[in-house]
């Protein structure tokens, strides 16, 4: 039985850090595990310009320094690098894109179909409106990161990712054959199959929760708001297809936690927010999933190699080590003067990241 795994220091290619006190509460959890992360721009107001991205980056670095000063991080953790993104809107211009790309600080542009998910109200209403921006992104080599669900209320919630492939992804790939596209947090066999064979530079991130759980987890003995995220968990056949894709060794699939913190009281209410908080135990969750598939030897590629290769960034120096050492996930953690429930809080994990 494998007792220990050492990997090149990994990156998180899809992360929500929030802002203000919430940012300060979560930054150390990610910086302890990952060297870099693609930071999602769906804060309020959304990060729609280079200036906003640079200012947000400064706030993240300040939170990191505060965590270091408080003894929450060592020097390696404090060297965490936020990779900034822009929030695509109907009004994003080609010039906005060229400026962002030239800065060297913006590594992707995020497409949220308006209304699809948390803080997506400023998102794109019709992808045709974004064609000048997409053209500029293709020219600059700046990746498009996609929340891949249609918002059509006539489409069943569980089918929205599959329908997005036909309605948006395929035309997009046809119209911009050289555009780098990351299909974020895929949840279906359909998306895994699409990404595996799509033309052009196409990749996908996969979360730990979609590798570990199917939709039964949402209703186990009662409604479980801490398992609610978007795209919502799907049935077991889809989970198995995702696990197969993640452990296939294909460089098109890489790690993106979609750790999406919301305060406990905003999850445990009549209309709770979507998002699972997985940053504190992300690598342990992924190791658990890969071990289930008897594929721990494939974790390094997925977590540490394929993401940098797709984004055109150098792989990290240094390593992290996971040891087989059972520990209980905290039931609750402090969060911006409130508390937050990490995914599977109170449950035991077999793997632990060594400090």
Angstrom distance (rounded) from CA 323 to CA 208: 18
The item of Zn ion, ligand NCD, none sharing an interface with residue 275, based on CB under 5 to 8 Å by kind, is: ligand NCD
CA neighbor of 151 nearest in space, from 179, 123, 177: 123
Task: Determine which residue in the list 230, 279, 341, 353 makes contact with ligand NCD, applying CB under 6 A.
Answer: 230
Beta bridge mates, 182 = 145, 203
By C-beta, is 256 or 345 nearer to Zn ion? 256
Task: Determine which residue in the list 143, 275, 308, 342 makes contact with ligand NCD, applying CB under 6 A.
Answer: 275
Segment lying near Zn ion (by CB under 5 A), choices 17-25, 113-121, 157-165, 232-240: 113-121
285 to 33, 163, 233, 280, 348: CA distances (angstroms): 12, 29, 16, 10, 11
Shortest Å distance, C-beta 151 to ligand NCD: 12
By C-beta, is 79 or 163 nearer to Zn ion? 163
**Binding positions for ligand NCD, 13-52, rule CB under 6 A:** 16, 42
Segment lying near Zn ion (by CB under 5 A), choices 116-124, 191-199, 214-222, 232-240: 116-124
- Which of 12, 96, 190, 258 is the catalytic position? 258
Q: DSSP assignment of 55-105, as one string?
A: HHHHHHHHHHHHHHHTTS--HHHHT-EEEEEEE--TT--HHHHHHHHHHS-
Buried (b) or exposed (e) across 125-149, using 16+ Cβ within 10 A?
Answer: eebeebeebbebbbebebbbbbbbb
Task: Determine which residue in the list 76, 105, 118, 135 makes contact with ligand NCD, applying CB under 6 A.
Answer: 118
Active site residue 90: no
Helix (H, G, I), strand (E, B) or coil at 355: coil
Segment lying near Zn ion (by CB under 5 A), choices 18-26, 257-265, 297-305, 327-335: 257-265
- Binding mask of the shown chain, residues 135 to 154, with x at each position contacting Zn ion by CB under 5 A: ------------x-------
């Amino acid at each position: 039985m494998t007792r220990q795994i050492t990997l090149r220091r990994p990156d998180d290619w899809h992360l929500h850090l929030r802002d203000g006190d919430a940012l300060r509460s979560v930054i150390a959890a990610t910086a302890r595990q990952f060297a870099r992360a693609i930071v999602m721009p769906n804060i309020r107001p959304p990060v729609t310009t280079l200036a906003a991205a640079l200012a947000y980056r400064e706030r993240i670095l300040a939170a990191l320094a505060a965590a270091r000063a408080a003894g929450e991080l060592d020097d390696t953790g404090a060297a965490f690098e936020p990779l900034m993104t822009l929030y695509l809107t109907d009004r994003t211009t080609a010039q906005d894109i060229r400026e962002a790309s030239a800065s060297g600080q913006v590594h992707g542009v995020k497409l949220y179909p308006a209304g699809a998910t948390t803080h997506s109200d400023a998102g794109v209403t019709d992808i045709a409106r974004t064609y000048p921006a997409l053209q500029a992104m293709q020219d600059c080599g700046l990746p498009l990161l996609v929340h891949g669900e249609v918002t059509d209320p006539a489409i069943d919630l569980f089918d929205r990712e599959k329908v997005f492939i036909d309605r948006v992804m395929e035309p997009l790939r046809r119209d911009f054959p050289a555009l780098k596209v990351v299909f974020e947090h895929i949840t279906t066999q359909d998306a895994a199959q699409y990404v595996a064979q799509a033309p052009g530079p196409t990749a996908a991130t996969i979360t730990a929760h979609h590798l570990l759980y199917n939709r039964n987890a949402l209703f186990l003995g009662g409604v479980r708001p801490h398992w609610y995220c978007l795209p919502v968990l799907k049935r077991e056949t889809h989970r198995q297809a995702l696990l197969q894709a993640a452990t296939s060794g294909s460089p098109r699939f890489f790690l993106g936690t979609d750790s999406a913190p919301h305060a406990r009281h905003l999850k445990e209410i009549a209309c709770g927010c979507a998002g699972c908080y997985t940053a504190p135990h992300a690598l342990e969750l992924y190791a658990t999933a890969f071990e289930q598939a008897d594929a721990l030897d494939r974790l390094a590629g997925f977590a540490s190699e394929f993401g940098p290769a797709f984004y055109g960034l150098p792989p990290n120096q240094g390593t992290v080590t996971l040891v087989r050492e059972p520990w209980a996930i905290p039931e609750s953690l402090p969060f911006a003067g409130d508390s937050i429930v990490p995914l599977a809080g109170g449950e035991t994990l077999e793997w632990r990241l060594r400090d």
